[in-house]
């Protein structure tokens, strides 16, 4: 399996195109319950896979990672069988590593040079191997304490990353969260992909930092946003994400049996009883739709699940890995079908759909669906899950806050510093866990620069979060500047 890929001084390094296979639960066994589908590499397999990395002088993988995780370095350490060192490097850059090693969409792998000849190095699976086989019960500590207090609104990945970045620099941080638990939309990711214990493991490493969580408090309802500025916070980071679901806007959407996917997934994770029938239709084409079809299948006790999407597979935004997982588990797909109305007497009995054909590309570059006249058909069903997107809830944040909505829905400030109209207030979010964290990383650096200027000091480089003497350094060969 493993070829010798050590670079020679004369010839270019040989690329081994074949990835070491990762073990997955058998389809027949996994689709009836919530056991984790993907396993961890064994130590031996992780070392073999890590040896496929040619340790590029310019680390394309690191440059593609929104949080500049030094994956090249942890892979080098795994190849040298130093799993403790690899775990330390992983956690040094990534405070949510136990989460991301399972759910990150691994943008790094899209840039891996080995991918030019075959399958890229399994950078995300190797991160998991570092965590699983190395010492990962490390605890973060703050550098020299600072007096300026910071409020973070929203404890999703963006809020948690900002809290971590600022707390390790020595700032006391108070995080306000409307839900009873931190995590944001991560708490809707199904247990067959990651468990909530993974998130808890990540948060446990925060325990020595000066981060206070005020849970069950919605800013804008339980507490006026202005109060944060009056309560002595020197800066506020707004990371309220997209916790609300979008509706379809078709007749029949209020019938019993029509369920918004976001609440459905959240309740499934909490183990709440869910009224899933035997003929389930999920509407949507993104990752939430993929999680919904596979969760519904598991809860239906042998039921049949169909996904309805108004464009074709090529335009579908869902992650390829998630789509393949759903396909293997027996989900039916109806592409180029758009919902027209939901029908039923006292409960859902069917979804009426209209055929679509693809027209010219829209502003986003995807081909637009155009209805085909006279093409309506009915899909009989007893449950409809609506997974057509999420949106922000900015209730209570007046126009003076200048919270612009990003094209995918979350509030964010302007420019690379994520500043809002109010001095000292910053806002960010992102389309995936690591993108939200990456934006928060940049915003936190901007908040530190803002507060350092008020103290008459230079910005604080991110210190070693484990209390060592060094500060956070970008890996050698890295060329992409961090924006502040
Ligand atoms: C079902 C599902 C599956 C997903 N799967 C993946 C995946 O596998 N990989 C991946 O990378 N991404 C995935 N995502 C996307 C990812 O979860 C989001 O991109 C990410 O969570 C965004 O982080 P955020 O912090 O910006 O916002 P959110 O996660 O939305 O967090 C915002 C937080 O702010 C809180 N909040 C909102 N308003 C207020 C207020 N007024 N006061 C106090 N608190 C407030 C919310 O309760 C929430 O906790 C998935 C999303 C969903 C819905
Ligand atoms: S966090 Fe995601 S993008 Fe970054 S190195 Fe890890 S898997 Fe790759
Ligand atoms: S781009 Fe691929 S081969 Fe190069 S350092 Fe990163 S993981 Fe290794």
pLDDT digits (tens, 9 = 90+) for 203-214: 999 999 999 999
Q: How far is the CA of 60 from the centre of ligand 3 (A)?
A: 7
Looking at residue 108, what is its pLDDT? 97
Q: How far is the CA of 313 from the centre of ligand 3 (A)?
A: 30
Residue 136 — very low, low, confident or very high, per pLDDT cuts 50/70/90? confident
| Ligand 1 pocket, residue 213 CB under 6 Å | no
* pLDDT for 202 beyond 90: yes
351 half-sphere exposure, CB direction, 13 A CA radius = 29
| Ligand 3 pocket, residue 121 CB under 6 Å | yes
- Name which residue sits closest to atom 4 of ligand 2, judged by CA: 65
- Per-residue pLDDT tens digits for 326-340: 999 999 999 999 999
Find, among 205, 229, 238, the residue nearest to 138 by Cα: 205
Q: Which ligand is nearest to the CA of 290?
A: 1
Ligand 3 atom nearest to CA at 111: 1
The dihedral over CA atoms of 28, 30, 33, 39, expressed in degrees to the nearest 10, equals 170
| Ligand 3 pocket, residue 114 CB under 6 Å | yes
| Ligand 3 pocket, residue 37 CB under 6 Å | no
What is the C-alpha separation between 82 and 211, in angstroms, rounded?
31
What is the C-alpha separation between 33 and 302, in angstroms, rounded?
11
Share of the chain above pLDDT 70, in %: 97
Looking at residue 12, what is its pLDDT? 72
Find, among 188, 296, 292, 176, the residue nearest to 238 by Cα: 176
Find, among 205, 478, 256, the residue nearest to 381 by Cα: 256
Find, among 430, 414, 413, the residue nearest to 236 by Cα: 413
Residue 5 — very low, low, confident or very high, per pLDDT cuts 50/70/90? very low
Q: Which ligand is nearest to the CA of 475?
A: 3
In this prediction, residues 222-245 reach a mean pLDDT of 94
- Per-residue pLDDT tens digits for 440-461: 999 999 999 999 999 999 999 9
Looking at residue 473, what is its pLDDT? 67
| Pair of tokens at residue 10 | 């004369």
Assign residue 6 a region (left: φ > 0; alpha: ψ between -120 and 50; beta: otherwise). Answer: beta
CB atoms within 10 A of CB 84: 14
What is the C-alpha separation between 359 and 368, in angstroms, rounded?
5
| Ligand 3 pocket, residue 335 CB under 6 Å | no
- Name which residue sits closest to atom 1 of ligand 1, judged by CA: 288
Residue 49 — very low, low, confident or very high, per pLDDT cuts 50/70/90? very high
What pTM value is reported for the model?
0.95
- Name which residue sits closest to atom 2 of ligand 3, judged by CA: 112
* pLDDT for 2 beyond 70: no
Please choose from 6, 13, 51, 55 the residue to mutate so as to test ligand 3's pocket, defined by most ligand atoms within 8 A of CB.
Answer: 55
* pLDDT for 463 beyond 50: yes
Counting every residue written for the chain, the total comes to: 484
């Amino acid at each position: 399996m493993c070829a010798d890929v050590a670079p020679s001084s004369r010839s270019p390094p040989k690329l081994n195109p074949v990835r070491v296979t990762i073990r997955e639960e058998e389809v027949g066994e996994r689709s009836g319950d919530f056991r984790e589908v993907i396993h961890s590499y064994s130590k031996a397999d992780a070392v073999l896979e890590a040896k496929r990395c040619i340790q590029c002088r310019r680390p394309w993988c690191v440059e593609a990672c929104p949080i500049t995780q030094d994956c090249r370095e942890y892979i080098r350490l795994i190849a040298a069988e130093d799993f403790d060192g690899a775990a330390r490097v992983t956690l040094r850059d990534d405070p949510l590593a136990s989460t991301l090693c399972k759910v990150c969409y691994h943008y790094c792998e899209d840039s891996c040079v080995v991918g030019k000849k075959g399958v890229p190095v399994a950078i995300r699976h190797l991160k998991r191997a570092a965590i699983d086989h190395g010492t990962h019960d490390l605890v973060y500590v703050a550098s020299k304490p600072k007096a300026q207090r910071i409020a973070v609104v929203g404890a999703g990945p963006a809020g948690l990353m900002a809290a971590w970045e600022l707390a390790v620099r020595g700032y006391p941080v108070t995080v306000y969260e409307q839900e009873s638990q931190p995590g944001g939309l991560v708490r809707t990711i199904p247990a067959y992909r990651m468990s909530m214990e993974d998130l808890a493991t990540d948060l446990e490493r925060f325990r020595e930092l000066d981060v206070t969580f005020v849970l069950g408090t919605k800013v804008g309802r339980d507490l006026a946003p202005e109060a944060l500025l009056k309560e002595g916070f020197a800066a506020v980071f707004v990371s309220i994400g997209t916790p609300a679901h979008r509706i379809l806007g078709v007749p029949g959407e209020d019938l019993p049996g029509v369920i918004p996917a976001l609440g459905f997934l959240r309740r499934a994770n909490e183990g709440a009883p869910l009224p899933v029938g035997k003929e389930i239709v999920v509407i949507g084409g993104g990752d939430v739709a993929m999680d919904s079809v596979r969760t519904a299948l598991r809860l239906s006790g042998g039921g049949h699940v169909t996904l309805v999407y108004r464009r074709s597979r090529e335009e579908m935004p869902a992650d390829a890995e998630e789509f393949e997982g759903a396909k293997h588990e027996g989900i039916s797909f109806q592409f180029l079908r758009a919902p027209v109305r939901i029908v039923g007497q006292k409960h859902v009995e069917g979804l009426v759909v209209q055929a679509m054909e693809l027209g010219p590309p829209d502003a986003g570059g995807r081909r637009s669906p155009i209805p085909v006249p006279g093409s309506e058909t009915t899909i009989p069903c007893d449950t409809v899950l609506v997974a057509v997107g999420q949106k922000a809830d900015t209730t209570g944040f007046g126009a003076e806050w200048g919270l612009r909505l990003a094209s995918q829905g979350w509030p964010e400030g302007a420019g690379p510093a994520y500043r809002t109209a109010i001095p000292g207030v910053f806002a960010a979010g992102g389309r995936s866990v690591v993108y939200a964290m990456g934006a928060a990383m940049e915003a936190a650096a901007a908040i530190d620069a803002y507060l350092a200027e008020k103290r008459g000091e230079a910005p604080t480089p991110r210190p070693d979060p484990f209390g060592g003497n060094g500060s956070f350094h970008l890996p050698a060969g890295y060329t992409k500047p961090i924006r502040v």
